[in-house]
A and B are shown apart, each in its own frame.
Chain A
């Protein structure tokens, strides 16, 4: 498939995702459900951007290890810091 078409498609999906987040935010669903929806869409958008705009599809797979390790460190950090809140 033409790469330009793919990029535009990814952009369109992310735009739609952002608008959907706002729709969910303004809906009458419970706060927890709204948060779940908004965060789920955000994760999907980040994955899309990382895969296509950071070009992880075309890069050597070893490069993907860098951000994954960094994200892992951040997750450990956030988890421990969050657990510490419950002191």
Chain B
């Protein structure tokens, strides 16, 4: 089954990486138009000291939505879209490792954005907390409107999308490289995407944890962020553990793109490529150890601040190294000033200015001066907008002929670059003169000396915004009316253009034809019609959006949403059992050091990494509030140790049953597999029944209720998240049992048993941490 040309059905059901890439790119451009319009409103409001365009509450919501959309729904996803299209092409893979999950990542991203925008239409409007959603402003006491809860859940939904996407990218780059694409030959852009996704894997689970805690605070009455012991510092810890790496998540793909563009248009190899990769890795590693520099003003101990000041300064070394690599690539080059090259050079200019102004804030004493001022706004817009947008627009122009087979209007592209570059600087440079103007204020009547700089910035915004809009219009016009492009109009040497992965033999067309032949062959040999199109990813994502909306506004709607999700997941399993989805098999290529590990297993291990970080973040929150609390109820007073111990033994035995099931099928015993799975399932169900049906009612009857302080808040939330994981494991076991009874497992083919076994052992290990922490220590 194939859909030719434009068809709504095709776009709703596609799992092809190129299609998904285009969907990401188009959607993220839609979001920049929304987020950019909000920015224009902000700038018009600030054009004069006292403006009545936006009342304070609306201004706060406008700023918040602008920040959230631009960072999370535009900048990152545009990079993800480009990566979706070009990483498989650069490494010679036929598709992403998990195409259906890839489609689901996109749909979750889209509908999370729809949810976020819908908060504006709820009573009381959306969040007015700033994009950082700082506590206690994010609590029901100060922001009672349901829009804040829905915004938090939309953000959490995006975090799920990003995590799935990261697992997919990392697995694809580790396991799907064509022969010849060794680590040494991996293109700079793919390297940057690998590092970006590793960062995403570590950065998004903490924010997901924070959003879970915020949601329980707002919906179930827990007190993580409304209590003194948790409060603003706990939120800041969790948020900035995500928030600072997010800067690099946005910047690294842009740097990777700049490297590709510079190499092509300077006609020189990337200067010190090995060093470039080492620096990328160093930035990735260091960026998860600098977050406390966002909290220098919170009164955290001086030693801690000093340590994080050092790590902040340290990260500037490899980061500036990356910039030097790019600049030195131009040395002795024959430079062609095409539109993408101009944008790449503009991006380098901005990264230098943004980087230098960032170093200032690594110094504690200077941070006292700049913190919360427009100086900081100037710094991060030079990094986020200047580096990232100019880098990403460079990519759109650079790869435009590859995606569309057409050429854009080069002259118009260059003119728009110069207007954008000038407009950008008129907009953001004045911010460096506003180091005494606080962020997030809607009027400054008492400080008229700020007016000239604000007016200049607004003029800049009225130049830069429309120029960016016209840039997208230029690309659209190129797509509709542009001249046909040659196969490699730039004379680029990278693999996505040449198709030469080994340096000679294998051409991209060959790979594509290969892929097509394989799909055709599989379809011919299959008793059922196989397809690479499926409605399930979009259905699950719609179900998730409906569920979350209902969760906040009207419970029956949530039940409907849950029903849709469950029905779609069951259908997904059925499709797998019936072998209906046409899985594209990659040819054996460069897999080192994962030669003997299947892509599914690599994927599950990477998923477990994100789970470790998620539970680690929740445990950090628990340890943090417990250490800060002057009194904490003794475990024996609030918990029944006998029940807790019994449940531990039940779960340990369930794990044993699961590993014995795996062992049985390894030796070919289907009967042993069935017994093991049923045993593990029964014991897992018993664990949940004891926890939810016996233990919790007893504790609640004794007055230990979720809203009764930090101790019950932590207990019920962490236990609840763990119970949810047990539930997911049981759902997986149901699928395995059904498949086992239909006789589809053999000694040679039982990957899913092994994968669920890994997950179940992990759930068991988490309990081995929770049990002593809550019941005994």
Contacts and interface: CB of A to CB of B under 8 A. Distances in A.
Contacts of B241: 77
Interface string B278-299: 0000000000110010010011
B597 A60 contact: yes
A38 B596 CA distance: 38
Contact of B300 (A14, A35, A66, A87): A87
A70 B202 contact: yes
B166 to A, nearest CB: 13
Contact of B656 (A7, A69, A78): A7
Greatest chain A CB density within 10 A among B649, B655, B659 is at B659
A62 B653 CA distance: 29
Contact of B612 (A3, A45, A71): A71
A12 to B, nearest CB: 9
B292 A11 contact: no
Contacts of A4: 660, 663
B721 to A, nearest CB: 15
Interface in A1-37: 3-4, 7-8, 11, 14-15, 18-19, 21-22, 24-25, 34-35
A14 B775 CA distance: 17
A77 B776 contact: no
B645 A74 contact: no
A38 B776 contact: yes
Contacts of A55: 758
B623 A81 contact: yes
Given A42-B769, A77-B617, A85-B627, A60 B596 contact: yes
A70 B201 CA distance: 9
A19 B764 CA distance: 16
**Interface bin, chain A:** 35 or more
Contact of A54 (B289, B593, B628, B761): B761
Contacts of A87: 233, 298-301, 304
Given A25-B641, A85-B627, A78 B619 contact: yes
A35 B635 CA distance: 12
A81 B237 contact: yes
Interface in B617-631: 617, 619-620, 623-624, 627-628
A86 to B, nearest CB: 5
Given A8-B656, A80-B304, A62 B620 contact: no
A84 B241 CA distance: 14
Contacts of A84: 233, 237, 292, 295, 300-301, 304, 624
B271 interface: no
Given A18-B648, A21-B771, A70-B609, 10 more contacts: A11-B655, A34-B776, A46-B765, A50-B761, A54-B762, A67-B605, A70-B202, A71-B616, A74-B616, A78-B619
Interface of A: 3-4, 7-8, 11, 14-15, 18-19, 21-22, 24-25, 34-35, 38-39, 41-42, 45-46, 49-50, 52-55, 59-60, 62-63, 66-67, 69-71, 73-74, 76-78, 80-87
Interface of B: 202, 206, 233, 237, 241, 288-289, 292, 295, 298-301, 303-304, 308, 593-594, 596-597, 602, 605-606, 608-610, 612-613, 616-617, 619-620, 623-624, 627-628, 635, 641, 645, 648-649, 652-653, 655-656, 658-660, 663, 757-758, 761-762, 764-765, 768-769, 771-772, 775-777
Closest 7 CB pairs of A and B: A74-B616, A53-B761, A70-B612, A11-B656, A70-B609, A25-B776, A42-B772
